[in-house]
Each structure stands twice: as C-alpha cells, then as structure tokens.
Amino acid sequence: MSKYVITIARQFGSLGRPIAARMAEILGIEYYDRDIVDAAAKKMKLPVSTISDADETVSNGFFQMMFPLGQSGIRMQHDVFDTQREIILNIADKGNCIIVGRCADYILESVKNHLRIYIYASYDQRLKNCISTLKMTEESAKRMIREVDKAREAYHRHYAGYAPEDVNYKDILIDSGMLGVEGTAQYLAELVRERFKTE
C-alpha cells in the first residue's frame, strides 16, 4: 500500500489529541500536533509563544477569539498559517502519519489516501474529561469548552471555508465518549488498517 495520511479535527475536551497519539502508537506511524508549532517558530525565527498566539486563532476588526495564549495581528496569523501549511504538506509527503488540527484536512484535501476524522463528545462528557483528565476546575472547563470551540470553528471557517465537523468534508465522525481513549484509538486504528490494507 502506498503512503497515507490521517487528519484529525476535534472538539475541546473530547480527548482527540491523546486518541490521535495512541492511534499513531498502534499503527506505528508518525504523529504531529504541537511540534508543527515548534517547526513554524523555528522557520519564522520567532518565539514559540508568538506562533502559539496565532495558532488555530482567527481575528478581524469585528470578531476576535483568543486561543491558546493570547492575541495577534491578522498579518501574523496569515503568515503562521502559510508557514504551517508548508510544513504540513512536507510532513504528508514524507510518509504515513497522523496530523491533528491546523486545518490539515483542508490543506491536504487533494492528497491521495487521506482519511479525515472528526472526534467529538457530549458536553457532559467533555466537561467530565476536562475535570478528571485535564485537571481543570469546573469553571475553567466550561469557559475553555465555550471559547476554544468558537475559536477553532472560526479559524477553520476562515481558512477552509467550512466548519471542522462538516460531514461533507469528513470521512468519519466519532463520539469518543462511547469507547474512551483506548477503545476509540483501537477502533479507528483497525478501520485505518482495513481502509488502507496495512498490516
């Protein structure tokens, strides 16, 4: 089987990141998430905190969402997106991998053997995950769920032109609350093996 790439978009608190990392372990492939931010910072010769300010964030004169560390100008956001886009394209060209967030599903839309996954969970489950797994207070969890969901959707709509959970641009949507991190990762890994006929 020729190389494949898996992109994962997720709701905050659905534990999409640990699920993606575990999938990569099971499949024996590379996993990319925050290291894309590190690579962008190095390429742009800027502090990681500056890149993080513009990562998965979008703003304009009337609307501004902040995630994860603060706010940045529109020009910086576009520069970060363009740099991360180049990095993501290079990563996908190297070999089998999983890429989380950063509009990778849109950036890699023309790539052959590309599986697009969206991970979600009920509000109550996400709140529970934030408190028990991410060790957040209930107040902080509620605020982050609200703000990060809005920021990610605004970012994705701005650059991709559609919501991250739009079924027209996804191959699989899965509720992580059904099977938990390990069960969801195992289920999706098996699906990947079947889809791409891997060992």
Alpha-carbon distance of 59 to 157, in angstroms, equals: 12
- 48, 38 Cβ separation under 8 angstroms: yes
Mean pLDDT of the chain: 87
Confidence check: pLDDT of 64 > 50: no
pLDDT value at residue 76: 78
pLDDT attached to residue 30? 96
pLDDT single digits (tens) 114-152 = 999 999 999 999 999 999 999 999 999 999 999 999 888
Comparing CA positions, the residue from 30, 138, 171 lying closest to residue 90 is 30
Residue 41: its H or E element: helix 34-44
Q: What percent of the chain lies above the pLDDT cut of 70?
A: 86
3-state secondary structure of 2: coil
Per-residue model confidence as pLDDT tens digits over 77-124: 888 899 999 999 999 999 999 999 999 999 999 999 999 999 999 999
Distance separating alpha carbons of residues 16 and 119, to the nearest angstrom: 6
For 15-24, how does the pLDDT look when each residue is reduced to its tens digit (9 = 90+)? 999 999 999 9
Identify the weakest region by mean pLDDT among 9-23, 48-62, 89-103, 174-188.
48-62
pLDDT at 75: 74
What DSSP element (H or E) covers 187? helix 180-196
Please give the model's pTM, rounded to 2 decimal places: 0.87
Q: Where are the domains of the chain?
A: 5-189
Q: Are 138 and 30 in contact (CB under 8 A)?
A: no
For residue 173, the surrounding DSSP H or E stretch is strand 172-175
Instruction: Concatenate the DSSP letters of all residues of 122-146 into one string.
Output: -HHHHHHHHHHTS---HHHHHHHHH
Quick count: other Cβ atoms within 10 Å of Cβ 182? 12
| Sequence-ordered list of residues with C-beta below 8 angstroms from that of 45, at least 6 positions apart, any chain | none
The pLDDT value given to residue 60: 38
Give yes or no for residue 49 having a pLDDT over 90.
no
Q: What is the pLDDT of residue 51?
A: 64
- pLDDT value of residue 122: 98
Please give the residue that has the higher pLDDT: either 41 or 91. 91
CATH number of 5-189: 3.40.50.300
